[in-house]
Amino acid sequence: MFLHEFPDITWLKSQIAQGFSNRLCWGDGLSDTEGFPSVIVHTSSSGCYRPDIKGPFSFFLNIRGNSLCRVDGQVSHVDTDSYFVSNNEQLYTLQIEKGSDTETFNIHFGHFFAASVLNALVTPADRILDKATENQFSPVLFFNQLHRRDAVFDRMVGRLLQSAREKEFDKLAFEEQLSSLLVYHLRQHRHIAAMIKKLPPVREATRVELYKRLVRAKDAIHAGFDTTLSLEELSAEACLSKYHFLRLFRQAYGVSPHQYIQQLRMEKARTILAKTQMPVSDLAGMLGFDNSQSFSRLFFQRMGIYPTQYRALTK
User: What does the pLDDT look like over 11-62, one tens digit per residue?
Assistant: 999 989 998 888 888 877 778 788 888 999 999 998 899 999 998 999 999 9
3-state DSSP call for residue 25? coil
The length of the chain is 315
Which pTM value belongs to this model?
0.75
Q: What is the dihedral of CA 267, 272, 278, 283, to 10 degrees?
A: -20
3-state secondary structure 116-184: HHHHHHHCCHHHHHHCCCCCCCCCCCCCCCEEECCHHHHHHHHHHHHHHHCCCCCHHHHHHHHHHHHHH
Residue 50, pLDDT score: 94
Query: By C-alpha distance, which of 44, 46, 62 is closest to 100?
Result: 46
Residue 313, pLDDT score: 87
CA angle 8, 181, 157 (to 5 degrees): 70
User: What does the pLDDT look like over 106-125, one tens digit per residue?
Assistant: 999 988 888 777 777 765 44
Q: State which amino acid sits at residue 284.
A: A
Q: What is the mean pLDDT of residues 268-276?
A: 90
Query: CA–CA separation, 17 vs 54, rounded Å?
Result: 9
Residue 141, pLDDT score: 72
Other beta carbons less than 10 A from residue 205's beta carbon: 8
